[in-house]
């Protein structure tokens, strides 16, 4: 990482760590120990009585979604999955499919699904597709864009894209289409549940977003 970028990354990372740690510390502990068997049943079967569609329908077996518009949940940081479901449930994040599903789920349901995915996850591999931009994606992911004050993605998501448990999500192997769509949504303001990401991507061009999304798809 170049010296110009390093202090930006360090100060940004420290602020992110404080904000995210405080958010997760505020979450109430589960009433009972999470049950991955119940999580597996809800993930695979859903619950029609509560309008909870089976997660497997969109996210694939054990979280390995095959459609590029849907995120892979396999090997994803459990606290991140929990936060997103809670955000869909309370309206901090919007999606016409996920919102009604999350609203039908209890805190216990969410904890059980997180436990199931943590126990069963075997992520399917991804691959970068655009060899002409993969080097740009690598540079941004590892070193950021100093002149735009964009920190290295690796500072929060780790050098191999695996994320940092209970703090930042896994990006490695995620579908390019999904990652790009989320970054664009943060930039436009359509997705509002991470002020830090909104600030970062507002300083990135379409080409830079596409390059990063493609690069992380190939990380393992």
Q: What is the pLDDT of residue 28?
A: 54
Looking at the fold, whether 102 and 153 belong to one and the same domain comes out as no
On whether residue 188 sits in a domain, the answer given is yes
Residues 6+ apart with CB under 8 A from 55: 42, 43, 44, 46, 73, 113
> Per the annotation, does 197 bind a ligand?
yes
Domain that holds residue 149: 5-21+125-217
- Position 138 scores a pLDDT of 98
Task: Give the pLDDT confidence score for residue 4 in this predicted structure.
Answer: 44
Residue 58 is labelled as binding a ligand: yes
Confirm or deny that 59 is annotated as ligand binding. Answer: yes
Q: How many domains does the chain have?
A: 2
Please indicate if the annotation marks 5 as binding a ligand.
no
Task: Mark whether 116 and 143 lie in a shared domain.
Answer: no
CA dist 65 → 55, 169, 173 (Å): 10, 17, 11
d(CA 5, CA 2): 6
Domain boundary, last residue among 85, 104, 120: 120
What pLDDT sits at residue 122?
87
Query: What pLDDT, on the 0 to 100 scale, is given for residue 20?
Result: 42
The answer to whether position 115 is within a domain reads yes
Give the chain's residues under pLDDT 50: 1-26
CATH of the domain at 89: 1.10.760.10
Token pair, residue 183, equals 């970054």
Q: Please tell me the pTM assigned to this model.
A: 0.84
User: How far apart are alpha carbons 139 and 143 in whole angstroms?
Assistant: 5
Whether residue 204 is annotated as binding a ligand: the answer is no
């Amino acid at each position: 990482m170049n010296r110009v970028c390093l202090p930006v990354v360090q100060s940004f990372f420290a602020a992110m760590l404080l904000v995210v740690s405080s958010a997760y510390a505020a979450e109430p502990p589960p009433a009972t120990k999470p049950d991955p068997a119940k999580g597996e049943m809800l993930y695979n079967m859903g619950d029609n009585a509560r309008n909870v569609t089976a997660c497997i329908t969109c996210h694939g077996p054990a979280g390995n979604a095959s459609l590029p518009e849907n995120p892979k949940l396999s090997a994803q940081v459990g606290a991140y999955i929990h936060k997103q479901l809670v955000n869909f449930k309370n309206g901090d994040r919007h999606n016409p499919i996920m919102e009604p599903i999350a609203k039908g789920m209890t805190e216990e349901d969410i904890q059980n699904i997180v436990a199931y995915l943590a126990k069963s996850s075997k992520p399917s591999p991804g691959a970068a597709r655009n060899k002409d931009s993969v080097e740009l994606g690598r540079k941004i992911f590892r070193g950021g864009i100093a002149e735009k004050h964009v920190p290295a993605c690796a500072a929060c998501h780790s050098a191999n894209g695996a994320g940092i448990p209970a703090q930042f999500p896994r990006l490695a192997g995620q579908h390019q289409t999904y990652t790009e769509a989320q970054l664009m949504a943060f930039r436009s303001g359509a997705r509002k549940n991470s002020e830090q990401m909104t600030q970062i991507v507002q300083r990135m061009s379409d080409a830079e977003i596409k390059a990063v999304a493609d690069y992380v798809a190939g990380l393992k």
